[in-house]
Structures are given as C-alpha cells and as structure tokens.
Structure 1
Amino acid sequence: MEVTCLSIVQRRTTVLLITCLQIASLFVVLPVNSTTFNGTNNSVDRAALLAIKSLIRDDPQDVTSSWNESYHFCQWQGVTCSSRHRRVIILDLSSSGLVGSLSPSIGNMSFLRTILLQNNSLSGETPQQLGRLFRLQELRINNNSFEGNIPSSLSNCSNLKVLHLGINKLVGKIPYEFGSLTMLRFFIVHRNNLTGGIPSFIGNLSLLETFSLGGCNLVGSIPDIFHRLKNLKRLAFPDNELVGTIPPSIYNLSLLESLFLDNNHLHGTLETNLVFLQPRIQEISVPNNQLTDSVAK
C-alpha cells in the first residue's frame, strides 16, 4: 500500500514539474534583431546608401554629410522610409550638384518607389541593377551625363509610371522589352545619342500621356500606332532625321495638347484643320520639314 501511494505521489510531482516548465516557457524572452522585428533586414538599405555615397566625388551642397553614424539612415537627407518596415521608399538627390557615378548597389533597396537624381553631374553607365526594383514607380535621371545603353532590365519594373532619361549621353536603341511597361505614363528620352527609329511597341503603352524623343538622331518613319494611345497629351519628335508623312492616327488623338515635329524630313500635307479636329491643341510646331499647308512656320 505504501509503494502504491509513493508511486502516485511521484507521478503527480512529475506532472506538476512538466506543467510548470511549460508555463515558464511562455515567458522566455527571445533576442530581437532587425530581421525579427521588421520582417526584413533593413541594414541592406543602409549599406546601399553608403555605397552610393562612396561613388560621389563632389557634393558641393553637403547633401550626404548627414549620412553617418550619428543618425539612423531614415533621417539622412534625401532619404524617406516607410513607417511600417523602415525601408527606403524615396531617394531624392535632385538638383544637388553631385559629381560621380551611380552605384549598382541601388538595386538592393527593394522597397524603392521613387528615384530622383535629375539635374546633377552624374556620369558612367546606368546600372542594370535598377531592374531589380519591382516596386519602382518613378525614375528621373534626366539632365546628367549618363552613358552607355538604356538598361533593358528596366522592363522588369512593371509598376513604372514615370521614366525620364532626357539630356544624357545614352546610346543605342530603345529596348524592345519596354513594350511590357504597360503602366507607363511619361516616357521622356529627348537629347540623347540614340540609334534606330521610333519603336512600334510604343502602341502597347495605352496609358501613355507624354512621349518625347526629340534630338535623339532617330531615323525612319513615324509608325502609325497612335490610335492605341487614347490618353496621349504631348508628343514630341523634333530635331531628328525622320522621313515620310505624319501618320493619320495622330490626327485622331482627342486629348492631344502639344505636337512638336520640327527639324525633320517629313513631307506631305499637315491638315490645316488640325486645330479644329483637336480642340485641346495648344502648341503645334512643325517648321523645317517639307510639309505643305502648315499651320505653324
């Protein structure tokens, strides 16, 4: 009888011990790091920003002087982070007089939605790594000295709405892969050293509002694809080597406000009633062509 009672007590003690251990385990405090807390390691963004700073040779406005250990990188000048993940969503270094090149590490900041680098003196190639930024909606690198081909990898940025590459030293053709950028509204590449003609895939970009390819040394004729671009407001192909006639579909753009075709080799007749066909028209410039019945000289 004593043995039986002892066995019961031992079993109850064991059960009680196990229960206490289970309860205690609920109060164990695990170490918290940036990966656990944020769901992602935002130190990647900090490293990318420092890599960008390392390739800037001259910063006359001291824009990146705050990019140091004294501040969290979300407080650095020109940097905006999301409140939830504390990841960089906007990089704005526009009009800062920066001299240098753009680090490929910019492609590691996967939460970036807006990149504003316009009006600087940045040079070198435009990194193909920009194509990793699938959240990117706006890319402005205009008025710099970027060289090389336009990165075809940008076609991976399926949310891109604004692509402004104007006034650089870019060469080559406009990548045919850009036909997949169906969210694009502003496509501006004027004043570069491109080759080839106006790509017909532009007709796939049905949301396009502004299309500018002036001063790019383009050749060939203007493709008749504008009947698909119902939202187009501004169309500019001046200062090229374009030949042929003005496509009829341009006359059917009901929202068209500006048309610039000057300094090409276009011939034929420009409909004198274009202003009446398109009541929104505010600017038309077509001089230095072989057009007749021109409404602007």
Structure 2
Amino acid sequence: MGKNVFFMLLAIVYLLINIVTSLNSSIDEYALLAFKSQITSDPNKIWAKNWSQGTSFCNWIGISCGRRHQRVRGLNLANMGLGGTIAKEIGEISFLRSLIISNNNFHGFIPNEIGKLSQLQEIEMQNNGLSGSIPPTFEFLENLLKLNISNYGLPRDIRNRIFNLTSLIEISFRSDRLSGSLPMDIFFNLPKLERLRISRNQMSGNIHPSLGSLLVTNTMEEVIGESEATLVVVSITHQYFWYSLICVDKHNNTGTIMHSNSGQIPESIFNLSMLQILSLSDNSISSNIPSSISNGLPNLERLLLGDNQLSGKIPPSVSNFSKLAKLDLHGNSFSGQVPMNIGNLHNLHFLHFGFNQLTKNPSVIELDFLISLQNCRQLMILGIENKPFHEILAKSLGNLSEYVESFTADYCGVKGIIPNEVGNMTNLIELGIGSNELIGTIRDTLSQLRKLQKLRLGVNKLRGQYLPTFAIWYICIILIWEIISFLNSCQSV
C-alpha cells in the first residue's frame, strides 16, 4: 500500500512538472509569435517559410533552446535585414540568455520589459534605428555580461544605472551621440570589465579617477587578491576628455586623486599587464608621455594617441613594446629626435608620427631613423609628413619592409634627389613626397612601382627628360583616383 502511494505521488509530481513545462513553453511560443507580428519588413522571406505554429519553435530560424526543458535560451536575428519594432512580449521569455538583433532596421523604443529577463547575459542591438533612452529596467539585469548598443540613434545622456551592473565584461556605445560625462564611480562598479568602447560620442569632462583605480588594481594581486578583471581594450576616442585619474598606493591599498589642469597622463594608466589596445585619439590630452610607459604593458598591440596636445620627447622606452603592431602619435607637439631604437618593434605594421615638431640627428645628413626601421619587416604604413627635417631621403628607404604600401613625407623640407632605391618598394600604393625641396630628375625607377595608385610630387624642383611622359602618367593616376573617390562619395549619399 505504501509503495503504491509513493509511486502515485511521484507520478503526480512528474505530471505537474510536464504541465508547468508545457505552459512555460507555450508562453515562449506566444512571445515569439508576438515578436513576429511586429516585423514589417522581411526581405529574405524568413517569416513566410518559418516561425509558424506547425513546427516546434526550437527549430525556428534564429532560435536556440535548452536541452532539458526546451525553453528558449537564444534569439539571434543578426544581419537579416528585418524591420519593425521590438514587441514588449519578449520580456516573457524568462530563460532567455542571448538577445542579438544587430545590423537590422528595427526602430522605436527598447521595451522596458527586457529588464524582466533575469538570466540575460548578452544584448547586441547595434546598427539599428532604435531611439529613446536605454530602459531604466536594465539595472535589474544582474547577469548581463555584454551590452552593445552602438549607433543607437538619437542623442541622449549617458545613464549611470547601466554602469552599476557589476557582472559586465564588455560595454560598447560607439557612435551613439552620448552626451554628458562618465559616472564618477563607473570603474569601481565594474570589477570584471574587459572591453570599454565609447568612441565617437559627444561626451566631455574628466575621465574619472576610478579608471586609474581599475587599471592599477587589476595588476595588484599581491595587495588586493586574485583579480577578476583583465581589461583588454580601452577605446575613448573622439571625445572632449582630459585626465583626472587616481594613483593607488600598493602598500596600503589607498588612492590619491591626481587632478591636473595640464591634462597629464598618470603613470597608473599604464600598469595593466594584459592591456592589448589603448586608444585615446582625438581628445585634448596634453603634457608628456611618461618615460616608464612600457613597464606595465607587456601585451600592448596598439597605442593610439593621435590628434591630442601631447608634447615633449617620444620616450625611447616605447621600443620595449615587443608586441606593438600599431603606433599612432601624429597630430601632437612632440619634439626632439625620433628614437633610433624604434626599429626594435619587429611586429610593427603601422607607424605614424607626422604633424609634430620632431628633428633628426644633426650630425647625420640623412633621415637616420629610416635605417632603424629596416628591422621592422612587417611594416606596411609609414607616415612622417609635416615635420621640419630639412635633410635628404636615405637610400635605406628602399630597404624597408617589402610589405610597405604607404610612405608619406610631404612638407618635410626634404632635400636632394629621389633615391633610385625607391623603386625597390614594389608594393607601394601611396607615395607622398610633395611640397619639399627635391631636385634633379624624376627617376625612371618609379615606373617599377606597378601597384602605385596615389603619387604626390608637386611643389618641388624636379626636372629632367622623364618629366613629360611621367607627368602624363601621374595626371592619369590622380584623375582615376579622383573619379573613384567621387563615385564612392555618391554611393554613400
């Protein structure tokens, strides 16, 4: 008798579980069909062939379900050209972990109901026509790891509540027309952050002290314990920021706020050992680059500081970035000589330090740093334009990497003749040595540059027997390039 009662109770429990699961599955299906009903544009005819009640929703395009309870775990409709609004019923898919609708034509507001999805870990809504503010209910998404709402549309203030989600690993608000300033405690509240992308917005004010704190504490395991975060990417370009960061005393784990009217970059920002990309271009950062810049960044691959107000010398320690592939220092006020050891950057692909006040070794008549760059066998882009060098082009120019595609040295006061060795740069696409003091003939070796598309030789003192023929070739290249640029601009309108 007792056994029968036990098995009966077990059967009832099993039946109830099935009933609840069935009801919950029905709710998922109802929510998905409500989502479908808001789609007004379907150029690929997805809805005409799929998403119907005749088949299990777990088999619908873009849907992934859990194995155990057959509940919807993922909704991925990226790059499908869909248009319409986001149905509020999406908040009923309670097991949803991944919501990806990027690169479509959704418009209207983001539903507040998304804040009910407590298991949600990933939101990707970039490149749509969405408008309005980020819903305040997002602050309840305690398991959210990744949030990407780039190219969001209408201008709006940045929302502090988003930066209270301690679980976040990646944030991307690029080209969102965000205004206002970053929250003061943004990085204190984001201990697991690995990627921050907020470039091309309209923000202003300080990059706040908590950034320096995060960058330092992430490398202080002996003081703070095992670090949860490994900040890999910091991209804060095209803003109006200046620096006011924190320096942390590793002996007592306390911090001192460094406010600097001159915009000095504190050395604390360069102490994150796993950092791969540091992009601070197009801001108003001033003062010098710390001489110890490379000490705490052994994994740095890109250092982008162009178009700021930095001055002083380029520290020779820059050459210690053994993994550096891209170095952009153009558009500042750096002075002094180009470090000769810059050739130690064997992985360098891109080097641009034009539009500064750099000089060369006065005891040498050639651009001597070009000799050092012969060691950079991966180099593809080299820009040194608009600097008062007033010396001759080194023959070693022809010994640069076989991969060099662009060499620009316009407005450098370069003297002498064009070296024949330039003809060795057979992969050149762009050669800019205009507005200098070059003399002599235009070398026939330039005809070896079969891939050349852009050539600037104007405003020099060049002459010779090759000038008429070469000038025609040069004009044709420029005309073709201008036509291509015009056609591209017409397509983008």
TM-score range, shorter chain: 0.7 to 0.9
- For 2:139 and 2:67, locate their aligned partners in 1 and report how far apart those are by CA, in whole Å: 28
Aligned counterpart, 2:176: 192
- For the 8 Å contact 1:34–1:41, the answer to whether it is kept is no
Q: Which residue of 1 aligns with 2:358?
A: none
The 5 A counterparts of 1:70-85 are 70-85=54-69
Residues in 2 aligned to 1:50 and 1:40: alpha-carbon distance in whole angstroms: 15
**Partner of 1:262 in structure 2?**
281
Q: Tell me by how many angstroms 1:276 deviates.
A: 4.0
Larger deviation: 108-117 or 48-57?
48-57
1:240 corresponds to = 239
Structure 2: unaligned runs, 5 residues or longer: 219-229, 244-262, 315-327, 331-493
User: Using the alignment, how far apart are the partners of 1:103 and 1:247 within structure 2?
Assistant: 47
| CA shift for structure 1 position 103 | 1.2
Aligned to 1:51: 34
Tell me which moved more, 267-276 or 95-104.
267-276
2:214 & 2:56 partners in 1: Cα distance? Answer: 47
- After TM superposition, give the deviation of residue 39 of structure 1 in Å: 7.0
Percent of aligned positions that are identical: 30
1:153 matched to which residue of 2?
Answer: 137
Alignment of 1:42 onto 2:41 = no
Amino acid at match of 1:218: M
The change in CA–CA distance for 1:73 and 1:256 in structure 2 (over 3 A counts) is same
- Give 1:111's aligned residue: 95
Deviation at 1:175, TM superposition (A): 2.1
Q: Deviations over 1:147-190 (max 9, x none)?
A: 11122211111011111111221532332223431111111111
Deviates more, 1:228-237 or 1:246-255: 246-255
**Do the aligned partners of 2:108 and 2:130 also contact (CA within 8 Å) in 1?**
yes
Contact 1:113 1:138 in 2 (8 A): yes
Aligned 8 A contact 2:96 2:120 in 1: yes
- CA shift for structure 1 position 256: 1.2
Kept in 2, the 8 Å contact 1:34–1:40? The answer is no
Change (3 A) 1:170 1:128: farther
Q: Which moved more, 1:93-102 or 1:237-246?
A: 237-246
Verify the 8 A CA contact 1:55 1:103 in the aligned structure 2: yes
Contact 2:164 2:186 in 1 (8 A): no
Counterpart of 1:220 in structure 2 is 205
1:89-147 per-position Cα deviation (integer Å, ceiling 9, x unaligned): 10010111111121111111110001111111212111121111110011111121211
Contact 2:84 2:105 (8 Å CA) reproduced: yes
Q: Which residue does the alignment assign to 1:277?
A: 296
Taking a change above 3 Å as real, the CA distance of residues 37 and 55 of structure 1, as seen in their structure-2 partners, is: closer
Provide the rounded CA distance (Å) in 1 between the counterparts of 2:155 and 2:69.
38
Superposed displacement of residue 191, structure 1:
0.6
Structure 1 residues 206 and 170: alpha-carbon distance in aligned structure 2, compared to 1, 3 A threshold: farther
Corresponding position of 1:211: 196
Whole-angstrom CA distance in 2 between matches of 1:104 and 1:87: 18
Q: State the 1:272 CA deviation.
A: 4.8
Q: Which amino acid aligns with 1:251?
A: F
* Larger mean Cα displacement after TM superposition, 76-85 or 133-142: 76-85
Alignment-derived partner of residue 329 in structure 2: 296
**TM-score using structure 1 length:** 0.84
Q: How far did 1:201 drift?
A: 2.7
Kept in 2, the 8 Å contact 1:162–1:184? The answer is: yes
Mark the runs of 5 or more structure 1 residues left unpaired by the alignment: 1-18
Q: Contact (CA 8 Å) 2:127, 2:151: kept in 1 or not?
A: yes
Contact residue 101 and residue 123 of structure 1 kept, 8 A? yes
Q: CA deviation at 1:248?
A: 4.1
Letter in 1 for 2:55: Y
Corresponding residue for residue 174 of structure 1: 158
1:258: how far off? 0.5
Change (3 A) 1:274 1:40: farther
TM-score by length of 2: 0.52
Between stretches 284-293 and 265-274, larger displacement belongs to 265-274
SS in 2 for 1:36: helix
Is this contact kept in 2: 1:150–1:170, CA < 8 A? no
Distance 1:247 1:209 in 2: 20
CA distance in 2, matches of 1:270, 1:62: 55
Equivalents in 2 of 1:84, 1:234: separation in Å?
37
Change (3 A) 1:272 1:118: farther
- Inter-partner Cα distance in structure 1 for 2:31 and 2:100: 16
Deviations 1:211-237 (A, max 9, x none): 110011111011121222522110001
Whichever residue aligns with residue 44 of structure 2, its letter is Q
Contact residue 203 and residue 239 of structure 2 kept, 8 A: yes
Q: Secondary structure at the match of 2:186?
A: helix
Q: Which residue of 1 aligns with 2:50?
A: 66
Moved more, 192-201 or 224-233: 224-233
Partner of 1:124: 108
Is the CA contact 2:74–2:97 (under 8 Å) kept in the aligned structure 1? Answer: yes
Give the count of matched residue pairs: 275
AA partner of residue 239 (structure 1): H
